[in-house]
């Protein structure tokens, strides 16, 4: 538990003047870096996804919301509604921190159906008897008007023996007629774990045990757990937070024994090998596909940029599949309906940097097919200007794809990385790249590996260029402009 002391960080939007709210919205609308096809609230900072579901013909996507940007401050629950998971509007549902057990924050949670009605199991932050911030596990019933009615008391008791009061981010699923909830947790030895609870109804959760994995000393707390079955494999997903402050959002793939909750699995693998991707969660769409969304946030502070510029967003929805024992992630297919103004180019690139005309843009999708490759390295520069570029490099010999943001203009202060690489199982054939106002998401070889990052290029950084180190490569470029997913109104 942590002492509570900062009153200013816990100001409420209900007590904020209309003029200030309008000013905050205007700051976002005027920012160069407000996203166009990624979910972001109209002001304030998005936090971890905390409730995503398809229910009665609608998608409901929720996340923590920090109206005044401070992650140490008061958080609400913010929700979007969609009929196709592409075009969004807000249905006005903002879950407020207005009860004894959540009046210092609505945190991670899970939306699920029980007896044909929606329920929301979530972590609320309230004060303990000792006046310390304490995480409580709470339940809200969602009525037909999508209004939340909170159960008056916590539905999960204090953490079990040998665990600190750190239960958080419940994830609910049903298996064989039994409801289970997974909680992120921390042992008294400061090690991350996932705890299992089960129930026959949402008010009666009973502790079972921790999931036993082969990860004995991996992160000091695990958050945002998730479990699902895909192509016969059990997948356990979570974000590991480490003592030095870094996070790793990834998964274990194998088989989970529900008799003893032992999991036989392979190595922990990252879901996204870029920068700032964290807290992913999954849900099932209207066709039965498993869809993943996570949080994309900038690393550290960036000089000359304000809080509105740096505001986190949710990632693109990604469809998951298992192919030859590996997890693949692909952009949600319905996002293709956002495309317009298709432009194509076909030709050879060599060691002379070539500007692709009329290719340029700030928000677009780019598909790059590598048809013939005799080059040692291939370079793709996006959001380029005279002095800046976001660089993607492919080394033919090592099969390494590298994202280099070191020349992307505004960079984080402090010891944060700007370059990351993934090694492909086979030669690169296809890059599918989504560039928004302040982000890039790269899908390699039809979703074999993914890298994402927030980027903050200058207004005039709109060019696209390509070249090789030596040798030539025959390429096909297909570029689409992408429409905005919606105009947000609080």
**Do 3 and 134 form a contact (C-beta atoms < 8 A)?**
no
**For residue 313, what pLDDT is reported?**
97
Share of the chain above pLDDT 70, in %: 95
pLDDT beyond 90 at 280? yes
What is the pLDDT averaged over residues 431-449?
Answer: 98
Give residue 4's pLDDT band: very low, low, confident or very high (50, 70, 90). Answer: very low
For residue 115, pLDDT beyond 50: yes
- Give just the sign of the alpha carbon dihedral 125, 127, 133, 136: negative
Checking if the pLDDT of 357 tops 70, the result is no
**Assigned token pair, 458:** 């200058």
Give the tokens for residue 46: 């998005």
Q: Average pLDDT in the 48-73 region?
A: 93
For 394-408, the pLDDT digits (tens) are 999 999 999 999 898
Q: Looking at the predicted structure, is the pLDDT value of residue 89 above 60? A: yes
Do 361 and 439 form a contact (C-beta atoms < 8 A)? no
Stretch among 90-94, 285-289, 416-420 having the lowest mean pLDDT: 90-94
Instruction: Look at residue 219 in the predicted model and tell me its pLDDT.
Output: 93
Taken in order 270, 276, 278, 282, the sign of the CA dihedral is: negative
Q: pLDDT per residue over 406-415, tens digit each?
A: 898 877 766 6
**Can you give the pLDDT at residue 5?**
46
Closest CA to 268 of 309, 235, 294: 235
Integer CA distances (angstroms), 411 to 295, 414, 457, in order: 19, 9, 9
Which whole number is the average pLDDT over 230-252?
Answer: 94
| Statement: residue 1 has pLDDT above 60 | no
Task: Return the pLDDT at 3.
Answer: 46
Quick check: 416 pLDDT over 80? no
**For residue 92, what pLDDT band results from cuts at 50, 70 and 90?**
low
pLDDT category at 489 given cuts 50, 70, 90 is very low
Each domain of the chain, given as residue ranges in start order, spans 2-333, 335-482
Q: Is the pLDDT of residue 6 over 60?
A: no
Contact yes or no for 77/91 (Cβ under 8 A) = no
Measure the CA angle with vertex 451, ends 445 and 453; round to 5°: 145
In whole angstroms, what is the distance from residue 426 CA to residue 403 CA? 18
Confidence of residue 490 (pLDDT cuts 50, 70, 90): very low
> Which CATH architecture group holds 335-482?
Sandwich (2.60)
| Gap between the terminal Cα atoms of the chain | 33
C-alpha distances in angstroms, 73 versus 8, 125, 242, 311? 8, 11, 22, 15
Mean pLDDT of the chain: 92
As a whole number, mean pLDDT of residues 48-69 equals 94
The pLDDT tens digits of the residues spanning 291-343 come to 999 999 998 778 778 999 999 999 999 999 999 999 999 999 999 999 999 99
Q: Which residues contact 346 (CB under 8 A, 6 or more apart)?
A: 475, 476, 477
Pair 305, 411: CB distance under 8 Å: no
pLDDT given for residue 246 in this prediction: 87
Tell me the β-bridge partners of 282.
Answer: 292
Q: Which fold has domain 2-333?
A: Tachylectin-2; Chain A (2.115.10)
Q: Under 8 Å CB-to-CB from 421, ≥6 apart: which residues?
A: 273, 400, 401, 402, 403
How does pLDDT run across 202-227, given as a tens digit for each residue? Answer: 999 999 999 999 998 899 999 999 99
């Amino acid at each position: 538990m942590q002492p509570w002391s900062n009153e200013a960080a816990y100001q409420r939007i209900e007590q904020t003047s209309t003029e200030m709210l309008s000013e905050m919205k205007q700051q976002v609308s005027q920012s160069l870096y407000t996203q166009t096809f990624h979910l972001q609230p109209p002001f304030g900072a998005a936090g971890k996804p905390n409730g995503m579901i398809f229910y009665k013909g609608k998608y409901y996507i929720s996340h923590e919301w920090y109206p005044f940007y401070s992650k140490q401050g008061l958080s609400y629950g913010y929700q979007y509604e969609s009929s196709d998971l592409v075009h969004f509007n807000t249905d006005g549902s903002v879950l407020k921190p207005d009860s004894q057990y959540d009046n210092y924050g609505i945190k991670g949670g899970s939306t699920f159906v029980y007896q044909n009605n929606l329920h929301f199991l979530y972590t609320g932050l309230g004060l303990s008897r000792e006046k310390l911030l304490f995480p409580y596990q709470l339940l809200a019933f969602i009525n037909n008007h999508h209004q939340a009615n909170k159960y008056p008391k916590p539905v999960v008791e204090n953490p079990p023996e040998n665990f600190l009061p750190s239960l958080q981010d419940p994830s609910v699923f049903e298996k064989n007629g039994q409801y289970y909830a997974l909680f992120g947790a921390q042992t008294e030895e400061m090690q991350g774990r996932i705890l299992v609870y089960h129930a026959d109804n949402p008010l009666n959760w009973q502790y079972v045990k921790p999931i036993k994995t082969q990860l004995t000393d991996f992160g000091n707390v695990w958050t945002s757990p998730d479990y699902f079955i895909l192509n016969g494999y059990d997948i356990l997903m979570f974000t590991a937070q480490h003592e030095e402050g870094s996070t790793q959002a990834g998964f274990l793939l194998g088989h989970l024994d529900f008799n003893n909750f032992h999991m036989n699995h392979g190595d922990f693998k990252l879901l996204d090998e870029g920068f700032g991707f964290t807290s992913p969660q999954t849900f099932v769409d209207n066709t039965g596909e498993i869809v993943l969304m996570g949080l994309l946030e900038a690393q550290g502070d960036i000089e000359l940029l304000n809080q509105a510029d740096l505001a986190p967003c949710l990632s693109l929805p990604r469809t998951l599949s298992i192919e030859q024992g590996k997890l693949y992630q692909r952009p949600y297919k319905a996002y293709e309906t956002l495309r317009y103004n298709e432009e194509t180019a076909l030709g050879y690139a060599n060691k002379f940097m070539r500007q692709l005309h009329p290719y340029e843009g700030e928000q677009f999708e780019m598909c790059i097919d590598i048809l013939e490759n005799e080059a040692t390295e291939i370079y793709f520069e996006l959001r380029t200007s005279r002095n800046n570029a976001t660089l993607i490099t492919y080394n033919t010999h090592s099969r390494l794809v590298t994202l280099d943001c070191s020349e992307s203009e505004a960079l984080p202060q402090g010891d944060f990385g700007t370059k990351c690489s993934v090694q492909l199982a086979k030669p690169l054939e296809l890059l599918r790249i989504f560039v928004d106002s302040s982000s890039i998401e790269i899908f390699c070889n039809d979703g074999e590996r993914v890298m994402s990052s927030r980027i903050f290029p200058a207004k005039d950084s709109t060019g696209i260029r390509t070249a090789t180190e030596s040798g030539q490569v025959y390429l096909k470029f297909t570029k689409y402009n992408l429409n905005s997913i919606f105009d947000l109104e609080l």
